[in-house]
Structure 1
Amino acid sequence: MRITRILTVLFAFVLLFNISCSSDNESYEISPITYQDGYFISNEGNFKSNGANVTFLTRDLSLQQDNIYAYNNNNEILGDVLQAIGLNENKAYLVMNNSNKIVVVDRYTFKKLGTITDQINNPRGITFANGFIYVANTNFSTNVNSVTKYKISDLSFVKKIDFTEVADKIVEAGGNVFVQNASSGYGNKITYINTATDNKTEITIPNGQIGRTVSYNSDVYTISGTTANSYIYKISSTGTLTPVVTLTGIPNGTNLQIDNGKFYFSSGNKIYTTSIAAPVVPANPLLTVADNGPSYYVLYGFTVVDGRIFASDVKKFEGNSEMTVYSASTGGKIRSFITGGLGANGTYVNP
């Protein structure tokens, strides 16, 4: 029996029944299994296929359940293109790009709680600040870009903040919001939104094109690259830009992640790491993955969390993705598995 099937049977048995048994004054109770203490893997699905779904993996990497949204919601179809997952308090927010909606579920049972559709237009990212939800929207067909704001309490629409450039990755730092005005390696600006007023300030990254922007310890970090070098910058929670390190000789840096006081990033099919406190140019990559080009498919899903690197091979969207987990300290392979869908684009820890 496949390990994925084992977990499905366990969930079917335990979620449906809270079993209490007794015999000769002895009793025991099996509590319902939840999705706590594991990872959500977002499977994007093919464009216009309504094939998006979420895979759950236990924290010890031993058990896996696929398509958990349909499983817990009467086989309801999640939608078209799962772009990202946002976690806040007891909820998970599933950003459905081509379905123009945010599906809200309980992050421990994955039961559907609600849907946001008002002013949603091809959403690409989500973050949370001061009791509000901020969603980055970019419709490449109509060139309409915005950040839309909602109340966390009731999911009601508050306002729309228009952009002239792409609104892609979006993160919170120190109570403020930062929007990456770059996508797929094109663009060199980040917009700082002061959430007290929702006024915005544009920040230009001096060198190259932005690869990825992340939040860490109330600051924002971004990586940019040229065909010769890459650069990491820090932005304070109030919008002050500071260079961190020039990665000489490492071209087109992207996929920036931060874990346990270290930067992780990629260049082509090579993964590098360096310290945040004392960054240097890595002499060698931590590891090199298979180059299953074209280039935009290489490391399509890349996350570093819990001292582990999760790197996906999306098989050119011709079959379900293969996710490989590596040690973030040694680069050694821990295990590989096939996810429950196409285009695995992110891994999210659910502690």
Structure 2
Amino acid sequence: MNFKKIVSIAFASALLFTTSCRNESTFTEEYPKGKYEDGILMANEGNFGTPNADVTFASNDLSSVAQQIFKTNNNNENLGDVLQHIGFYSKYAFLVLNNTDKVKVVDRFGFNKVAEITEQLNNPRYIAFNNNKIYITNDTKYVNIYDGNNLAFISRLNINDTAERIVSAGNNIFVQNAAWGYGNKITYINGSDSTVNSQITVPNGQIQKIIADNGFVYAIASDAAADSYIYQISSTGAITKTINLTGISKAANLTIDGGKFYFTSGMKIYGMNVNASTIPTSPIVTATESAPYSGLYGFDVIGGRIYTSDAQGFTADSKVTVYDANNGSIIKVIDVGRGTNGFYKN
């Protein structure tokens, strides 16, 4: 009996994807919720080569924390090896498992597994959704496309460049052609027919991260010893605005919350109004790290709070520190899972 096929059919029956894609920032539909509503999901990637990835949930007021919520709600099943990214579509969370070569799909509010995507996956990285299709960066240079109704594999796009982060904006798809701090291009995929339209080159800096917000793509780019830049890119692939972060080098980890950009430079966390004409001269917070490459391993700003993680050198579970985004004061420190790399509003 083909269990995967049965699960996919059950998923398709429950899914009822009748509208265009939505991502974390535009999810507005109301569904029956559960024990993991109105809080923060924390992605714990685990140790490479060990299936100890899982997800931590913290309530909005941070008063309660639940560990290993995938394992807890799925008969003690291990989530997998290296949880790279979590994407939301409708009432489902898609858990991208890089070294397990799978995407596990769960009810985002109860965390019961409903399906898996495995076909044509090899080291998947990031996921996006558009026009009832699922896009996954895969095997370092491809984008795999799946049917949003039944998770069936449709096709693979050869990006002919690095394929890392992927976002949806204005019914089109954008792929970051940069990884590990190197690369200055973004591939623009037409959302109507899933074909590569063009490649966008930012004029200065190496792209560290792209995000989508309010119909635009934003890219933060920097070099080791020079200024940094934030580029605003339209949903049709044109660079419409450039913000020169003069005097700030190595800027990374861009996010938007409450009409403000937040980004990091080393262990410093900065904030500025999206429409500001002046560049911040002092950080909101200067974080510390327990070991090289451990500090700010995970970073995001959600609802006026800065969430950071220290990976503790991957020899111990991560520590998440939550700060007030207005004044930098510490709100809470939380012990979570191994290698916490991301935070998601649920």
1:167 aligns with 2:167: no
* Paired residues of 2:159 and 2:187 also in contact (CA < 8 A): no
Corresponding residue of 1:36: 37
* Paired residues of 1:138 and 1:168 also in contact (CA < 8 A): no
Corresponding residue of 2:19: none
Distance in 2 between the 1:148 and 1:83 partners? 16
1:250 is paired with a residue of what secondary structure?
A: coil
Distance in 2 between the 1:292 and 1:192 partners? 39
Distance in 2 between the 1:321 and 1:298 partners? 10
Please state how far the C-alpha of 1:164 moved relative to its aligned partner.
Answer: 2.0
* Paired residues of 1:245 and 1:280 also in contact (CA < 8 A): no
Corresponding residue of 1:8: none
Corresponding residue of 2:274: 276
Corresponding residue of 2:340: 344
Please state how far the C-alpha of 1:32 moved relative to its aligned partner.
Answer: 9.3
* Paired residues of 2:33 and 2:109 also in contact (CA < 8 A): no
Alignment CA distance shift 1:323-1:286 (3 Å)? same
1:216 aligns with 2:213: yes
Corresponding residue of 1:326: 323
Corresponding residue of 1:193: 189
Structure 2, unmatched stretches of 5+, are 1-31
State the identity as a percent: 48
Task: For 2:344, give the aligned amino acid.
Answer: Y
Deviates more, 1:158-167 or 1:248-257: 158-167
Task: For 2:190, give the aligned amino acid.
Answer: N
Please state how far the C-alpha of 1:124 moved relative to its aligned partner.
Answer: 0.8
Provide the alpha-carbon RMSD of the alignment: 1.4
Corresponding residue of 2:172: 176
Distance in 1 between the 2:235 and 2:176 partners? 15
1:240 aligns with 2:241: no
* Paired residues of 1:138 and 1:166 also in contact (CA < 8 A): no
* Paired residues of 1:268 and 1:298 also in contact (CA < 8 A): no
The match for 2:147 among 144, 151, 159 is 151
Please state how far the C-alpha of 1:165 moved relative to its aligned partner.
Answer: 1.7
Distance in 2 between the 1:298 and 1:167 partners? 25
* Paired residues of 1:212 and 1:256 also in contact (CA < 8 A): yes
TM-score when normalising by structure 1: 0.87
Please state how far the C-alpha of 1:223 moved relative to its aligned partner.
Answer: 0.4
Please state how far the C-alpha of 1:292 moved relative to its aligned partner.
Answer: 3.6
Alignment CA distance shift 1:181-1:110 (3 Å)? same
Distance in 2 between the 1:209 and 1:273 partners? 21
CA deviation profile, 1:230-250 (whole Å, cap 9, x unmatched): 000011011111333101110
The number of aligned residues is 313
Distance in 1 between the 2:340 and 2:137 partners? 20
Corresponding residue of 2:9: none
The match for 2:303 among 301, 306, 309 is 306
Distance in 2 between the 1:228 and 1:153 partners? 46
Task: For 1:36, give the aligned amino acid.
Answer: E
1:72 aligns with 2:54: no
Distance in 1 between the 2:34 and 2:230 partners? 41
2:212 is paired with a residue of what secondary structure?
A: strand
CA deviation profile, 1:50-94 (whole Å, cap 9, x unmatched): 110000111111101100111100001111000010011110000
Corresponding residue of 2:14: none
1:97 aligns with 2:98: yes
Please state how far the C-alpha of 1:222 moved relative to its aligned partner.
Answer: 0.7
Corresponding residue of 1:88: 89
Please state how far the C-alpha of 1:280 moved relative to its aligned partner.
Answer: 2.0
* Paired residues of 1:270 and 1:289 also in contact (CA < 8 A): yes
1:297 is paired with a residue of what secondary structure?
A: coil
Alignment CA distance shift 1:311-1:32 (3 Å)? closer
Distance in 2 between the 1:113 and 1:137 partners? 22
2:331 is paired with a residue of what secondary structure?
A: strand
CA deviation profile, 1:222-276 (whole Å, cap 9, x unmatched): 1000212100001101111133310111001100000011000000000111111
Task: For 2:84, give the aligned amino acid.
Answer: Q
Alignment CA distance shift 1:213-1:53 (3 Å)? same
Corresponding residue of 2:12: none
Please state how far the C-alpha of 1:163 moved relative to its aligned partner.
Answer: 1.9
Structure 1, unmatched stretches of 5+, are 1-30, 140-144
TM-score when normalising by structure 2: 0.88
Q: Highest CA radius of gyration, 1 or 2?
A: 1
